[in-house]
Structure 1
Amino acid sequence: MIEVEHLVKKYGSLTAVDNLSMKIEPGHIYGLLGKNGAGKTTTMNMVTGYIGATSGSVKVCGHDIFKEAEAAKKEIGYLPEIPPLYTDMSVYEYLDFCAELKGIGKKERDEHIVDVMEKAGISEMEHRLIRNLSKGYKQRVGLAQAILGNPSIIILDEPTVGLDPVQMIEMRDLIKELGKDHTVILSSHILSEVSAVCDYIYIIDHGKLVADFAMDEEKAASLEEIFIELTGKEDKE
């Protein structure tokens, strides 16, 4: 579904992603773990085609993200860490705008919007201005735009950052529901979040892949110890 091979991203003398390879299979929720500055967001931005790579390749459902961007991006729904919301729009207006950008026809658009609002739990907010929503509901609106068009892959970058404990639990439940119909990649440095929803883990440190394994009860119980052993205790921004 997603094949990342020898991916490198350099900014001058800084190597943000260093010879990274990984394979994402359909039907799972993947956790991309790492400390702040480990290269998670840069990796996501390359996988989604938001930025180019210095070298290496990314294939999404057989399409090269850098050479066949349009075909590849149709398979991906992306929620960045800071959702790209237009806060002076109502929820419905914003989703209608996003649906048009994604090429969803006028006849099907309303049906798609109603469906994603229901899945994201924001149906009652459709006429509210986005600027008047709580942080949790803004994240839900961002999630709704990510699943517009029913992409096969959903990529979520730090989806629970800034949420209160109740909102975090609600977002985790939404992610689990998405995992029933989509392949999900969840980037986070919050270990409890990853162990609660993911069934496969990739750990990145200083742009390098340092571990990948299937999640089970034993791994979930010792995830903190595994993470610290592989990445160290000190955060490196």
Structure 2
Amino acid sequence: MLEVHQFPCLSDNYGFLLHDHDSAETVCIDTPDADEYLRQAGKKGWQITQIWNTHWHPDHAGGNETIKRITNCRITAPAGETGKIAGVDRTVGQGDVVTIGDRKACVIDVGGHTLGHVAYHLPGARIAFVGDTVFALGCGRMFEGTPAQFWASLKRVKALPPETILYCAHEYTAANAKFAVHADPDNAELASYVEEIMKHRAHNQPTVPMKLERELATNPFLRADDPKLQARWGGGDAVATFAALRNAKDNFRG
């Protein structure tokens, strides 16, 4: 049995410990805060054996060295970003497989936020760790990639089974919801989703993880190929529509 232990850290990050009860292995999904990861693992009585990094940003890989020094864990990181990530033992890219116990996770190239960003999909558990590629009702800023690259990455996420549960790395949902309504004001399912989100945040409850199926119906960035959004934002081309949406979100002050 796999268990995901989710906890807040830093200002708006979520930390994730993935634990396999059969093998007793524990994977850190990214390492934004080494002390908090070690504390949470200790509270659970789990021994950290691996780190799977999604990308190089310090709020995702900054705790690598400390955790490895204390636990002697093995670090897996995207092949395109190893020069920026400390302590890497193995590099991975599109189509590679990593394991926790006898459970397999498929590596997906989701470059765009950073050039080498990867996600980890565990099909047997119907979960995926997507870092800063997709958020609830949003996507990451395009710091290094191009609109065409980022849209190709989002299409790989969209192609996962719709029942997949997505674990993203930040609690950005309330702000994302405001832009989503601005981008797609006539979406009734989005309106219902936003109402739930605001209730959760009013009680300081997390909005992560989220089901891909719902994001496919409500997240404007995953719907850049939808004719209605294209008519509103991009004139018939998914890449241009995605680029227009991303630029609008970067400058949104709603």
Q: Give TM-score scaled by structure 2 length.
A: 0.35
Q: Give TM-score scaled by structure 1 length.
A: 0.37
Structure with more relative contact order (C-alpha pairs < 8 Å, separation 6 or more): 1
